[in-house]
Structure 1
Amino acid sequence: MNVVCCDLVPTMTQVPSWDKVLKLLKKTQYLYGPGLSQLRENVRKMWLDRMVTKAESSFLIDVPADPLEYYPQLLALRNEHIPFSIAHVCSRTADLSSQSEHLKPLWNFGPETCFTFLHFCPQASVNTTYDQLVNVRFSWWKQLSYNSSDFTLSNMEENSAVLSGRRIQYKFPWGLETVETICNLGDEHLKKLQQKTKSNCQYSQGKKCIYPSQIQCDMTLEMATALFLKDAYVEKSVKGNEVKQVLHLSPVLAPFKVAVCRQGERHEEISEVTTYIASMLRKHGHQILDTCHTKNHLNMQLNRFDEMGVPFTVIVSDSTIETGTVQIRNRDTGIQETLAIGDLPLYVTKHVTYQAAS
């Protein structure tokens, strides 16, 4: 494998105003287009992957009802043993009055998608479990972000409904916004549920029947999407006073994993190869952006894909026809590597697969 560094190392500048971020999103057809839709879907997949697929005894509920109502039947399914969790995804009418004016362009005044995670554990271990869950959620946000230093944790005020709570907050240009809450709710909700439904809400511990403690995490897909877009936006000084805009989206969140560039004179043969490469990568489950015929210079194509947050660009040229190799460029480093066409699926899969923090 040959490695070539083709870009000058850019100079980072301060993140500009939110208006510049929105302007770029409009320019790249993110707003109300396939970019925003696929980004939302990828955020949803990453939440489900961490809180359902990779979580022990976690059950997904995606109906509008209160997820706590499903606790008795899941407790029965578990033969009255804990711990276990309920992951809930649903849409609800957004309370626009409580949202920042800056974020409303991304909401499009429609319903918001809520992610709720309910975890039920013994009261004796609730404090340890609560701390662990706070760390899991905080790590999830930071792993998927470009600038993890903009996240902070703050305490919520204790009250009759919340025994203890933490807010995960993110520093937007206009100030801190809460992106997720994690609360220790104790056992009061389960006691009320048992009184209301007459269903058993207690788990077995030897000969005793005990109410577990409930820990709850809440976030919305819309806030997460806005956060990751703002977080990814960077301006880079490249030559003189020229400024380049880049969306440093995490590869697992990026709407398109790979873009295909064309460079050379053997247009018909290059077109056949790019079509083959795009089809091959799609068969391996990757979203590919093939802009088909373009007369734009290679650098203009690369700049466009950087603005769209595409992590990798495959460059098909005249030499590809002779050697069966392509150049694959990393958005974040500007480094180009020479790969055999057949090695592309494994390379891309390796670099866009999410690895959860231990």
Structure 2
Amino acid sequence: MADVAEAAGVSRATVSRVLTRDPAVVEATAAAVREVIERLGYRPNRAAQALMGASRTLGVIFGEPPGRASALLLRGINEVATSAGYTLAVAIATDSDGEELRRGLNTMVEQSAAAVMVLPSTSLNAEVLAAADVPFPIISTTDLGPGSPCSVAALDELGAVDVVMEHLLEIGRSRILHIGARPETLVSRFRWDGWKARVDDADFFEMAEEWTARAGYEALHRAVARGARPDAVFAATDEMALGAMHAAAELGLRVPEDLAVAGFGGLPITEFFGPGLTSVATALHERGALAVEECVRRLAEPDGPPSYRLIAGELVVRRSTVAARSSDQVSAGRGDVHGVVGGVL
């Protein structure tokens, strides 16, 4: 297909549309493509032949190593896709130069995917999506901004971070240490930007190389060793926050009396560690469902523009964060409080 596209001076997407007899292709262009197909003796493979009919396959490409969060997102995608009569093709693209993502997109072309959902992890991934020459709509499950070249069905990251920071400030914490991770990743940048808008003090920032509990544990130890004296921690993930709580115990810091701790992700298990971890539940199942809904919309409206849809997170307040001057008034129960962050745009 690539040879035909090059010889005809068109994109591979146009070749695919000619093969599927898409009436939207200008007849002169379609005729030129058919002439090249005949001259080169090109014969569509089975995947291309399947494009002649309506494909019932949706693609999913993860741009970061699979974890529990990815599994929850995939569960939401699978439930809605299956109920709509689609099957899934899944690929992983975790390299730093974008080549795996390009191969993943090519694989989805070969598998006749009708639409593809991508969880881009880096700005480079986003650039690959912007330059992709594929015959199907792409839906990003990470926020790429309102000017995104593809549809977005993602979490309102900045809104979620803002509500965590607002909560910590409202309970009287001002020296808020942010434990961030992998600065090249899009979500790390969102969480750093949200923290910086409220604190912007380099003394209260600690970078970790991984999204793990050990990384959070080591980061708090490093921060205290270099003289930082935070009264709160906002960690980029729940796992990192749990590691920070363990480090706090070793450092003689009581949670929440001396150090309030908040995470990000809303993993159910966090309710049962220490006093219970305050976190933002990131609506992974709902985001998966929204991504499939956007696939179906784009397939029903092939000429329609990409949409930009952000879904709310939910702040879950537990006893790891209480007011600095009123911790002795908090009851022994966890007393979770739920609040919606942002909204669907």
What TM bracket, shorter-length normalisation? under 0.3
Higher helix share: 2
| TM-score normalized with structure 2 length | 0.23
TM-score by length of 1: 0.22
- Greater fraction of residues in strand: 1
